[in-house]
Amino acid sequence: MKTLTLVLRILLGAGMLFFGLNKFFHWFDPNDGAMPPEEMITFFKGMEASQYLMPLVAIVEIVTGILLLVNKFVPLALVILLPVMLNAMLVHAFMDPAHIVGAGVFLFLNIFLMFQNREAYKGMLKA
């Protein structure tokens, strides 16, 4: 199980680093040149209009990706990353179901790794 956890942590970290950097450098088009649904275009235009939200999401993805890759503060990185992954899953569920698989995989990896690190959360979850 330790090897599986290591591999999944590295996959999640590499994915977050890649997609976080992609928000700045735009080297990968997840739609393969096709137009995303109109709802997605409107949603992302609104987030970009805020001028801070997309860079913030990118920075969160980059920082948590690096932390996961270097195996430092992993439980903290996973907690910080969870709302980003949950939002990605919900955005795709409601606006772009055709591309939900990637978001679902990353959310699953996040939750699986949180479960593997559950001892680190005991103090946080005390009543």
- Express each pLDDT in 6-46 by its tens digit: 999 999 999 999 999 999 998 888 767 778 889 998 998 99
What single string gives the DSSP state of each residue in 58-115?
Answer: HHHHHHHHHHHHHTSSHHHHHHHHHHHHHHHHHHHHHH-GGGHHHHHHHHHHHHHHHH
* Whether the model pTM is above 0.85: yes
3-state secondary structure of 120: helix
Query: What percentage of the chain reaches a pLDDT higher than 70?
Result: 99
pLDDT of res. 30: 73
Q: Is 74 exposed, middle or buried (0-12, 13-18, 19+ CB in 10 A)?
A: buried
